[in-house]
Amino acid sequence: MADFDQELDASGLNCPLPILRAKKTLAGMESGQVLHIIATDPGSVKDFDAFAKQTGNELMESREDGGKFLFLIKKS
């Protein structure tokens, strides 16, 4: 997995909290920086895809690893 600047552990949280926390964390980051998000909500896979499409932040990676859903989002 590529390098990242910040990490957000949204494990155990359900819709819409992972998205809201990610949005909040991204707000405090600089353009071009990468956020690593860990989630356990299966719905977050489609949600982060939609989030990236609608906010213009790039979803660089989206994968599952042992029941966890991992995302890399680059701030636009």
Residues near other proteins, by CB under 8 A: 12-17, 19-20, 22-23, 40-41, 50-51, 54-56
Shortest distance (Å) from residue 47 CB to other proteins: 8
- Given the residues 1, 15, 20, 50, select the one marked as catalytic: 15
Q: What tokens appear for 24 in the block? A: 């909040």
- 3, 34 in Cβ contact below 8 A? yes
- Strand 6-10 to strand 34-39: parallel, antiparallel, or no bridges (unpaired)? parallel
Q: Clarify whether 15 is annotated catalytic.
A: yes
C-beta of 41 vs 75, nearer to other proteins: 41
Distance in angstroms (rounded) separating the CA atoms of residues 12 and 36: 16
The residues that are catalytic are 15
